[in-house]
C-alpha cells in the first residue's frame, strides 16, 4: 500500500489520478472512514463539472444504495463526470447523459425494474450452470491460444487471456460469433478506459468506438428480426414492457450495457485475484489443496479487487449522510473499494485471505436495486476459471511487475506477466 504523507484530508481530490497509480488509495480511504466518512472532492481536472461527495463507510454505502428515491441513478448517471471536455468534439452525442439513461444501470424504478425483469431469469445462478461446459471450453481455448502465440510459456494474464474469456462468455449469450470477441474487447476498452491515454488517446475515440458498436449491434438486431435465435438479442427484441416492444435504440443500449458490464468487470477481478494468490504461496496452497472452496476464494477475489471502484448516485432532495448535509442535485459516489476494507465489518481488512467466511462484501454493489445482474454468472465463470488455471498450470508464477490501468472508476490491472 502506498504511503501517503500526512495531509489535510479536506484538500484531497479523489479524482486525482496520481493517487491511483499503485491501485486504489486504501490508506486515504481508511483515514476517510475514520475521520471524514463523507468527503468532498472538487473534481479539479474538470472545472466545468461540479465536485462530488464520497461515501466511504460500509453501512452508509449500503443504505444510500438502497434508498433509490433519495439517491437516483437516473438523474446524473453513474459516473462522476458526464462532460469530458468543456466543448464536446464534433461527433460527440449532444447529451451523453440521455444516451446513458437508455440503460437500466442509469435508470430508477419503475422503469429500471421493468427492464431488469426482462433479463433477470437468464442470469440466475441456476441458469448460469447451463453455461458451465461452454465456459470451460472458452477458458481452455483462451489459454491454448496464449500458449500457441507464446510457446516459451511466458504470457500476459490480462492481455493474452483475461480480456477474451468474459468477452466470449457474454458474446455467446448475446449471439456474437466467437471470432468477433476481439471486437467486443476493443470496444469495451475504448468506451470505458477513457481515463487512460494509453488506451483512449482522446475522448473522440470513445465516440468513434460507440458508433462502431452501434453499427455492429444494429446489424445483429436486423438479422435477429429476420431470423430469431436462442440468444439474448432475440429475447430482447421479442420482450414487451407495458405491452410495448423495446425500440431498436433501447435494445442496442441494453446490449452495450451487458457487453461492458460483463466484460470489464470479470476480467479485472479474476486477473487481480490470481495475482494476489500468486503473490502469496500460503494462500495459493490453501486453494490448490482444497482447504478452502473455489467459491470461497472467489468471494475474496471480489472483496479485495472489486472491479468498479464506485458507482454514482445523485441526491433528489436536500438530505444528509452520516450527519453531512447533502444538497439536492449533489453527486454522491459509493466507493465499493472502501466499503470492502471497512474494519467494522471485515477483520484485518487489508489482508487478502481466502479463508474469510462470512464475506459479505460490496463488490457486486451494496445490495440495492442495482445489485449486479451478472453476479451469479460472474461467480461461476471465475470459479471455473480458477479451477482450470490451477489444473493446467501447477507451476504458474508471476513474471514481472506488470502495470495498472489509469482509472478512478475501473479497478484493473492492464498487464500481469506470468510464466507457466
Q: Is 79 helix (H, G, I), strand (E, B) or coil?
A: coil
Identified binder of ligand HEM from the candidate list 214, 256, 308, 346, rule CB under 6 A: 308
How many other C-beta atoms lie within 10 A of the C-beta of residue 251? Answer: 24
Are 256 and 147 in contact by the 8 Å Cβ rule? The answer is no
- Please name which of 312, 365, 316 lies closest in space to residue 336, comparing C-alpha atoms: 365
In the block, cell 423495446 appears at: 246
Strands 331-335 and 52-55 come out as parallel
Residues in binding contact with ligand HEM, number by CB under 6 A: 30
- Edge-to-edge strand list for the sheet holding 154-156: 154-156, 417-419, 397-398
Listed in sequence order, the DSSP H helices in 240-374 are: 248-279, 281-288, 294-304, 336-339
Is 43 or 135 the residue whose CB approaches ligand HEM more closely?
A: 135
**Orientation angle between helical segments 132-149 and 375-392, nearest 10 degrees:** 50
Kindly indicate which of the ranges 14-22, 325-333, 360-368, 398-406 contains the residues binding ligand HEM, using the contact rule CB under 6 A: 360-368
Is 43 or 382 the residue whose CB approaches ligand HEM more closely?
A: 382
374 near ligand HEM (CB under 6 A): yes
Is 9 or 99 the residue whose CB approaches ligand HEM more closely?
A: 99
- Please name which of 128, 122, 117 lies closest in space to residue 377, comparing C-alpha atoms: 128
- Measured CA to CA, the distance from residue 173 to residue 122 in angstroms comes to 9
175 near ligand HEM (CB under 6 A): no
304 near ligand HEM (CB under 6 A): no
Identified binder of ligand HEM from the candidate list 373, 380, 410, 416, rule CB under 6 A: 373
Identified binder of ligand HEM from the candidate list 54, 70, 72, 269, rule CB under 6 A: 269
In the block, cell 494462500 appears at: 283
Q: What is the DSSP secondary structure assignment for residue 48, as one 8-state letter? A: T
- Please name which of 164, 185, 124, 133 lies closest in space to residue 377, comparing C-alpha atoms: 124
363 near ligand HEM (CB under 6 A): yes
- Measured CA to CA, the distance from residue 179 to residue 338 in angstroms comes to 38
Kindly indicate which of the ranges 40-48, 307-315, 350-358, 398-406 contains the residues binding ligand HEM, using the contact rule CB under 6 A: 307-315
258 near ligand HEM (CB under 6 A): yes
Phi, psi values for residue 106, rounded to 5° = -110, 40
102 near ligand HEM (CB under 6 A): no
Q: How far is the CB of 62 from ligand HEM (least distance, A)?
A: 10
Kindly indicate which of the ranges 84-92, 174-182, 343-351, 362-370 contains the residues binding ligand HEM, using the contact rule CB under 6 A: 362-370
Identified binder of ligand HEM from the candidate list 378, 384, 405, 406, rule CB under 6 A: 378
51 near ligand HEM (CB under 6 A): no
How do the residues of the chain divide into helix, strand and coil, expressed in percent and rounded to 5?
50, 10, 40
Strands 240-241 and 244-245 come out as antiparallel
Q: How far is the CB of 204 from ligand HEM (least distance, A)?
A: 27
Q: How far is the CB of 153 from ligand HEM (least distance, A)?
A: 27
170 near ligand HEM (CB under 6 A): yes
- Measured CA to CA, the distance from residue 41 to residue 13 in angstroms comes to 5
Is 233 or 420 the residue whose CB approaches ligand HEM more closely?
A: 233
- What are the grid coordinates assigned to 376, written together? 451469479
297 near ligand HEM (CB under 6 A): no
307 near ligand HEM (CB under 6 A): yes
77 near ligand HEM (CB under 6 A): no
Q: How far is the CB of 375 from ligand HEM (least distance, A)?
A: 6
Identified binder of ligand HEM from the candidate list 54, 70, 265, 271, rule CB under 6 A: 265
Is 380 or 420 the residue whose CB approaches ligand HEM more closely?
A: 380
Identified binder of ligand HEM from the candidate list 294, 331, 341, 370, rule CB under 6 A: 370
Identified binder of ligand HEM from the candidate list 176, 284, 302, 354, rule CB under 6 A: 302
257 near ligand HEM (CB under 6 A): yes
H and E: helices and strands count for the chain: 15, 14
Indicate the residue whose CB is closest to ligand HEM: 374
Identified binder of ligand HEM from the candidate list 46, 352, 371, 393, rule CB under 6 A: 371
C-alpha dist (Å) from residue 326 to 44, 70, 285, 412 = 20, 11, 47, 31
Q: Is 8 helix (H, G, I), strand (E, B) or coil?
A: coil
List interacting residues with ligand HEM (CB under 6 A). Answer: 65, 104-105, 116, 170, 257-258, 261-262, 265-266, 269, 302, 306-308, 311, 336, 363-366, 368, 370-374, 377-378
Amino acid at each position: 500500500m502506498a504511503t501517503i504523507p500526512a495531509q489535510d484530508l479536506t484538500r484531497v481530490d479523489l479524482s486525482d489520478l496520481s493517487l491511483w497509480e499503485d491501485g486504489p488509495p486504501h490508506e486515504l480511504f481508511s483515514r476517510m472512514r475514520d475521520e471524514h466518512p463523507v468527503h468532498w472532492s472538487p473534481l479539479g481536472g474538470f472545472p466545468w463539472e461540479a465536485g462530488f461527495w464520497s461515501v466511504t463507510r460500509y453501512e452508509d454505502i449500503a443504505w444510500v444504495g438502497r434508498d433509490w428515491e433519495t439517491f437516483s441513478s437516473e438523474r446524473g448517471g453513474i459516473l462522476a463526470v458526464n462532460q469530458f471536455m468543456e466543448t464536446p468534439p464534433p461527433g460527440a452525442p449532444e447529451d451523453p447523459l440521455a444516451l446513458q439513461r437508455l440503460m437500466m444501470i442509469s435508470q430508477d424504478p419503475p422503469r429500471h425494474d421493468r427492464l431488469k425483469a426482462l433479463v433477470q431469469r437468464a442470469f440466475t445462478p441456476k441458469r448460469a450452470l447451463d453455461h458451465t461446459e461452454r465456459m470451460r471450453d472458452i477458458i481452455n481455448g483462451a489459454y491454448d491460444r496464449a500458449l500457441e502465440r507464446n510457446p516459451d510459456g511466458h504470457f500476459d494474464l490480462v492481455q493474452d487471456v483475461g480480456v477474451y474469456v468474459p468477452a466470449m462468455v457474454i458474446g455467446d449469450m448475446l449471439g456474437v460469433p466467437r471470432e468477433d470477441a476481439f471486437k467486443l474487447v476493443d470496444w469495451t476498452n475504448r468506451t470505458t478506459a477513457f481515463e487512460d491515454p494509453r488506451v483512449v488517446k482522446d475522448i473522440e475515440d470513445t465516440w468513434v468506438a460507440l458508433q462502431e458498436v452501434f453499427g455492429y449491434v444494429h446489424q445483429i438486431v436486423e438479422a435477429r428480426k429476420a431470423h430469431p435465435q436462442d440468444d439474448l438479442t432475440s429475447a430482447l427484441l421479442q420482450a414487451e414492457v407495458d405491452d410495448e416492444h423495446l425500440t431498436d435504440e433501447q435494445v442496442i443500449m441494453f446490449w452495450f450495457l451487458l457487453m461492458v458490464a460483463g466484460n470489464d468487470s470479470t476480467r479485472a477481478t479474476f486477473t487481480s485475484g490470481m495475482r494476489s494468490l500468486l503473490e502469496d504461496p500460503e494462500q495459493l496452497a490453501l486453494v490448490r489443496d482444497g482447504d478452502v472452496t473455489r467459491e470461497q476464494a472467489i468471494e475474496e477475489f471480489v472483496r479485495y479487487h472489486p472491479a468498479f471502484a464506485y458507482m454514482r448516485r445523485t441526491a433528489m432532495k436536500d438530505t444528509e449522510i452520516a450527519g453531512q448535509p447533502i444538497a439536492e442535485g449533489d453527486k454522491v459516489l459509493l466507493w465499493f473499494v472502501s466499503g470492502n476494507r471497512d474494519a467494522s465489518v471485515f477483520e484485518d481488512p487489508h489482508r487478502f485471505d481466502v479463508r474469510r467466511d462470512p464475506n459479505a462484501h460490496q463488490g457486486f454493489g451494496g445490495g440495492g436495486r442495482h445489485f449486479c445482474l451478472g453476479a451469479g454468472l460472474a461467480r461461476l465463470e471465475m470459479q471455473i476459471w480458477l479451477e482450470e488455471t490451477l489444473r493446467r498450470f501447477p507451476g504458474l508464477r508471476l513474471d514481472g511487475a506488470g502495470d495498472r490501468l489509469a482509472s478512478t472508476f475501473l479497478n484493473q490491472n492492464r498487464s500481469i506477466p506470468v510464466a507457466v
